[in-house]
């Protein structure tokens, strides 16, 4: 404490004004609040510690609690929606993972930009939750738009061709929508409020990252690598596996048959009685 003011007596009791040595709006000052409350409660169970620093500490604590509560609920609801729409379990889990990865990358890069480029003292405690809600909502919209069309195409052309066709049909629309939304949120950075500037930049960057990297490259590449198993346990996965095994069986030559891509002379040279 830098100073302790004289007691102010009133009907509820006495009040003391405490002056901290640290900036009252800094993290260092907020970390002093639990210790001050412990000392005050030890002196009197009804003692309270208030003021701007204590209020900000309580606000940050409530925001952290909301993050731990709301984020899992939102992810669970998104998973249920994707599972019902795509009739699968593997693919929704994959898409949820890409959404979390996109959000984490956007938040981390934005924090580095705020600290080292803009020189802001910190980010508001509500930024992660607000950015998460916006980015997850937008990312799920793009996921639904892309993968619903890819599933329709996969029913007729298979997973690989269906994914490529779905990406070709929806890619232009998703990219255009992402650019429009990023430009809209960028306008928040023109307001004279650091909180809105940070929120607008984070969401705009996250939307562009989701549009050009996650949705167009990462999701498509993962689906192509995993193959028909992304549709498990739907009937489409079993149909694709059967089609894949049949294609593999047709590509293996039977006993006594020449390989379709090998010339007759080469096939004859491989026989025990043929020329060497």
Contact call for residues 142 and 166 (beta carbons, < 8 A): no
Q: Distance between CA 69 and CA 167 in Å, rounded?
A: 34
Contact predicate 158/241, CB 8 Å: no
- Give the model's pLDDT for residue 196: 86
* Structural contact between residues 177 and 192, judged by C-beta atoms closer than 8 angstroms: no
Count how many residues are written for the chain. 276
Structure tokens at 141: 């919209």
The pLDDT value recorded for residue 29 is 86
pLDDT at site 4: 77
Position 241 scores a pLDDT of 64
Ranges under pLDDT 50 in the chain: 262-276
Q: Which residues pair with 3 in a beta bridge?
A: 19
Cα dihedral 188, 189, 192, 195, rounded to 10, equals: 80
The pLDDT value recorded for residue 73 is 93
CA distance 188 to 255: 70
Q: Give the model's pLDDT for residue 249.
A: 59
Q: Is the peptide bond before 170 cis (omega within 30 degrees of 0)?
A: no
For the chain, state the CA radius of gyration: 30
What CA–CA distance (Å, rounded) separates 219 from 103? 15
Instruction: List pLDDT tens digits, range 118-140.
Output: 777 777 888 889 899 888 888 88
pLDDT at 269: 45
- As given in the structure block, the two tokens for residue 230 are 């992304």
**Domain boundaries of the chain, sorted by first residue:** 3-43, 66-250
Question: Looking at the domain that runs over 66-250, which CATH code has it been given?
Answer: 1.20.1640.10
């Amino acid at each position: 404490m830098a100073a302790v003011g004289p007691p102010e007596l009133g009907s509820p009791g006495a009040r003391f004004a405490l002056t901290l040595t640290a900036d009252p709006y800094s993290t260092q000052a907020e970390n002093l609040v639990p210790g001050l409350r412990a000392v005050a409660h030890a002196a009197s169970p009804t003692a309270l510690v208030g003021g701007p620093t204590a209020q900000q500490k309580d606000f940050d604590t409530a925001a952290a609690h909301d993050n731990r509560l709301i984020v899992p609920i939102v992810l669970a609801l998104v998973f249920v929606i994707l599972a019902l729409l795509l009739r699968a379990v593997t693919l929704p889990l994959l898409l949820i993972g890409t959404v979390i990865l996109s959000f984490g990358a956007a938040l981390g890069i934005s924090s580095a930009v705020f600290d080292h480029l803009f020189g802001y003292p910190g980010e508001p405690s509500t930024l992660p939750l607000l950015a998460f809600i916006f980015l997850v909502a937008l990312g799920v919209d793009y996921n639904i738009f892309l993968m619903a069309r890819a599933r329709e195409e996969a029913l007729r052309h298979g997973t690989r061709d269906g994914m490529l066709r779905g990406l070709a049909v929806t890619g232009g629309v998703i990219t255009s929508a992402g650019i429009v939304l990023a430009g809209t949120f960028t306008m928040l950075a023109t307001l004279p409020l650091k909180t809105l500037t940070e929120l607008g930049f984070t969401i705009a960057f996250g939307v562009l990252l989701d549009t050009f990297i996650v949705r167009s490259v990462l999701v498509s590449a993962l689906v192509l690598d995993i193959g028909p198993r992304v549709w498990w346990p739907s009937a489409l996965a079993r149909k694709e596996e059967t089609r894949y095994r049949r294609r593999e069986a047709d590509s293996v030559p039977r006993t006594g048959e020449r390989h379709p891509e090998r010339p007759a002379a080469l096939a004859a040279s491989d026989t025990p009685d043929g020329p060497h």
